[in-house]
Amino acid sequence: MGMPGGFEWLFMMVIVLGSIGLFIYILVDILKSEFTNSINKVIWLILVLFTGPLGIVLYLLIGKKQRIKK
């Protein structure tokens, strides 16, 4: 169990950068969207910020349906 080699390091970096990118995308999506209930935006922001991956998955499955379509 030493330091990760080339492929393992690359794989970990892709996962980490992809996760950070998805996190930023979700935060921007929440901030730019209007929701059916005004408090929903605050709830989704808190949920995503404090629960991390679980909040992101829940937002993708449930939260996107609560937005007002323009």
pLDDT at 54: 94
Query: So what's the pLDDT on residue 2?
Result: 57
Picking from 69, 70, 67, the residue whose alpha carbon sits closest to that of residue 36 is 67
Tell me the whole-structure pTM to 2 decimals.
0.80
pLDDT in tens, the chain (70 residues): 556 677 888 888 999 999 999 999 999 999 999 988 889 999 999 999 999 899 999 999 999 888 887 6
| pLDDT at residue number 27 | 95
